[in-house]
Structure 1
Amino acid sequence: MVFFYFLLLIAICGQFGQTTSNDNCKKICLPEDFVRTLMRRDSKNPEHAHKDRPVFFASLKVRRFTLNGINDVVKFEDVRINRGDGYNPSTGVFTAPKSGLYQISCMLLGDNGNRVQYHLMKNESIYTNGHVSYHEHESQTISSILDLKKGDRVYIKHRVSAVQNIVGEDYSTFSGYFLQE
């Protein structure tokens, strides 16, 4: 990237440079707006852009996670990535550290052919429904794009009053990442 700027400066100097009467050197005369543009572009360098993008990945480590009621939130306790500190394993809630579009995914594995019914929630509203069928070793993944404001909350919530079980042991996961503003 630096080499690109160097070549660009050489090309501009050839167009904007002025010959001085005292020597044969070129005097560089760059418009101030152009210099500001170069500085802004360098500060948005894609090599550094990922550092301020929130991302999280968590899984269920326990053998079986039991959902007892309609308001139970799945708490994915094994946090592997939590850039931006948006995910809280004690509550199971991701709180957006900055506004923008996010990709949020959840994969759940039902225990011993048990059905699991759940919602992907945005704040207190249902965003997406999920359902794991009765079949042995059945799982479901939901993946959604959400437009979140800073402070919005996203989590996985049980949607029926019946007791249902999810297999942990890293089979069930919850993740998300920032796409763009």
Structure 2
Amino acid sequence: MWTNLFLLLLPINSVAYENNELGLQYEILEEIREMKSNEKHLEERVMKLEYANKENVKEIQQLRNEISTCRNAMEAGKSRRQEYRGSVSFTAYLSHSVTNIVHNTPVVYDTVLLNDGAAYDPLTGVFTAPLTGVYLFSVSSGSKNLPGSNLTQYDVFTRLVVDGVHKLSAVAESKNVYDDEQGSTTAILPIQKGSRVWVFHQITGGHSLFAEDGERVTSFAGALLYETESIAHLIG
């Protein structure tokens, strides 16, 4: 009897086992599907992080380049300031009268009292700006009517020019014998680095310019007030 009962229950147990096995396989498949889904999500996150990392690397490199540019600019500015010590100035005067002056040629102020930065050339009378900035210039011109001298003009008309362009004038006229007259002008001007500044005597009826070492009434001076990157915004 027990044998027959076992034979009857055997198919039932076999079906239950198969069902359990199928259920386990289904669970495994579901776990595999979930793992694949997680893997896909993880790959997407990795791709996003890699892209973000590339963008961060680009941004970091750009910032490094900007820092390098700023450092170079600061070093260049530091070098310029070390070279000129942050100041440019000069004062020179004419120690003797000159004759046979050629129109539109620089007056050569031959005696130098100050030449900080060595931008004024006492051999040519020309100041060459070593830095772009705002400068102050002063011109004084003496006139004296001396009888029996070889001075052919007692009317002095000097002009301050920048790269040949007239800016301001200084005029002096000695009408009477031994009269001492002096004309002067002062200008504050934006000057580009490399620009040349000088004074010339406009000949209107004569070719002479009065000066004496003892009196020192004919002079040319200038100084850098402050440096600028550009002068375009200062003109107008």
TM-score (norm 1): 0.67
- Structure 2 gaps of 5+ residues are 1-73, 147-153, 228-236
Other-structure match for 2:182: 139
Query: Residues 142 and 96 of structure 1: is their aligned pair in 2 closer, same or farther, counting only changes over 3 Å?
Result: same
1:51 maps to 2:46 = no
The SS at the match of 2:85 is helix
1:176 corresponds to which of 222, 225, 233? 222
The SS at the match of 2:200 is strand
Q: Which has the larger radius of gyration?
A: 2
Q: State how 1:20-99 maps to structure 2 within 5 Å.
A: 51-62=85-96, 64-66=97-99, 68-99=101-132
Q: State how 1:91-130 maps to structure 2 within 5 Å.
A: 91-112=124-145, 114-130=154-170
Other-structure match for 1:156: 199
Divergent runs of 4+, >4 A: none
Q: Is the 8 A contact 2:136 2:187 kept in 1?
A: yes
Q: Is the 8 A contact 1:52 1:84 kept in 2?
A: no
Measured against aligned partners, the alpha-carbon deviations of 1:108-129 in whole angstroms (never above 9, x if no partner) come to 1113271111210110111112
Aligned amino acid, residue 119 of structure 1 = R
Shift of 1:81: 0.9
Other-structure match for 1:23: none
CA distance in 2, matches of 1:172, 1:130: 10
Q: Is the 8 A contact 2:155 2:173 kept in 1?
A: yes
- Bigger relative contact order, structure 1 or 2 (CA pairs below 8 A, ≥6 apart): 1
CA distance in 1, matches of 2:112, 2:127: 12
| Comparing 77-86 and 156-165, the one that deviates more | 156-165
CA distance in 2, matches of 1:144, 1:168: 25
CA distance in 2, matches of 1:122, 1:67: 23
Structure holding more helix per residue: 2
Q: Is the 8 A contact 2:155 2:171 kept in 1?
A: yes
Query: Residues 101 and 155 of structure 1: is their aligned pair in 2 closer, same or farther, counting only changes over 3 Å?
Result: same
The SS at the match of 2:99 is strand
Q: Is the 8 A contact 2:140 2:170 kept in 1?
A: no
Shift of 1:52: 2.1
Shift of 1:60: 1.2
CA distance in 2, matches of 1:67, 1:127: 24
Other-structure match for 2:39: none
Cα-Cα RMSD: 2.3
Structure holding more strand per residue: 1
Q: Is the 8 A contact 2:144 2:174 kept in 1?
A: no
Shift of 1:95: 0.5
Q: Is the 8 A contact 1:59 1:168 kept in 2?
A: no
Aligned positions, number = 135
Shift of 1:107: 0.8
Aligned amino acid, residue 225 of structure 2 = L
